[in-house]
């Protein structure tokens, strides 16, 4: 999963704390990406961060989200998988 964030972003800090403190059924690797390093990322995510993007589906979850929304986002079955 990718966590789009940037420095001096209070909401990003809140979202990061939620990620850290949410008990997950299995570990999910998270790559934090600072959007300030890319003009393209700033254009795409500048007004939306913090944003989570699933690596398997490309689905995105924009802030605001709570623990239940985060868990539902992570539990969603990718299209075409045996469980869908």
Which whole number is the average pLDDT over 17-26? 93
DSSP assignment letter at 32: E
Q: pLDDT tens for residues 51-78?
A: 999 999 999 999 999 999 999 999 986 6
Q: How many domains does the chain have?
A: 1
- 14 in a structural domain: yes
Here the CATH number for the domain that contains residue 45 is 3.40.30.10
Q: Is position 17 within any domain?
A: yes
Question: Kind of pairing, strands 2-5 and 31-34?
Answer: parallel
Does residue 80 sit within a domain?
no
Q: 39 lies in which domain range?
A: 2-75
With cut-offs at 50, 70 and 90, classify the pLDDT of residue 26.
confident
Q: Is residue 69 part of a domain?
A: yes
Cα–Cα distance measured from residue 38 to residue 67, given in angstroms and rounded to the nearest whole number: 29
Which DSSP state fits 27? -
Domain assignment present for 84: no
Does 19 score more than 50 pLDDT? yes
81 found inside a domain: no
């Amino acid at each position: 999963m990718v966590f789009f964030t940037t420095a001096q972003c209070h909401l990003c800090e809140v979202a990061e704390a939620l990620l850290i403190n949410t008990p997950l059924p299995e570990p999910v690797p998270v790559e934090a990406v600072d959007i300030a390093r890319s003009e393209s990322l700033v254009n795409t995510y500048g007004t939306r961060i913090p944003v989570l993007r699933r690596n398997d589906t490309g689905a995105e979850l924009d802030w605001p989200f709570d623990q239940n929304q985060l868990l539902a986002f992570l539990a969603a079955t990718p299209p075409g998988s045996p469980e869908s």
